[in-house]
């Protein structure tokens, strides 16, 4: 995924993502899965 947004370094991508979204990418993805199971 990091490569698709132009960030080849996964650690750097994760750091930027956390700074922008307020949570790590894994937690963000898990929250989206939770929402999809609730029909929202």
Packing angle between helix 25-37 and helix 10-21, nearest 10 degrees? Answer: 60
Report residue 25 CA to chain centroid gap: 3
Q: Give the sign of the dihedral formed by CA 30, CA 34, CA 35, CA 39.
A: positive
* Global confidence as pTM: 0.60
Q: What is the tens place of the pLDDT at every residue in 2-40?
A: 566 666 788 888 999 999 999 999 999 998 887 777 665
pLDDT on residue 17: 93
């Amino acid at each position: 995924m990091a490569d698709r947004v132009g960030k080849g370094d996964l650690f750097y991508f994760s750091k930027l993502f956390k700074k922008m979204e307020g949570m790590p990418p894994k937690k963000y993805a898990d929250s989206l899965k939770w929402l999809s199971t609730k029909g929202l």
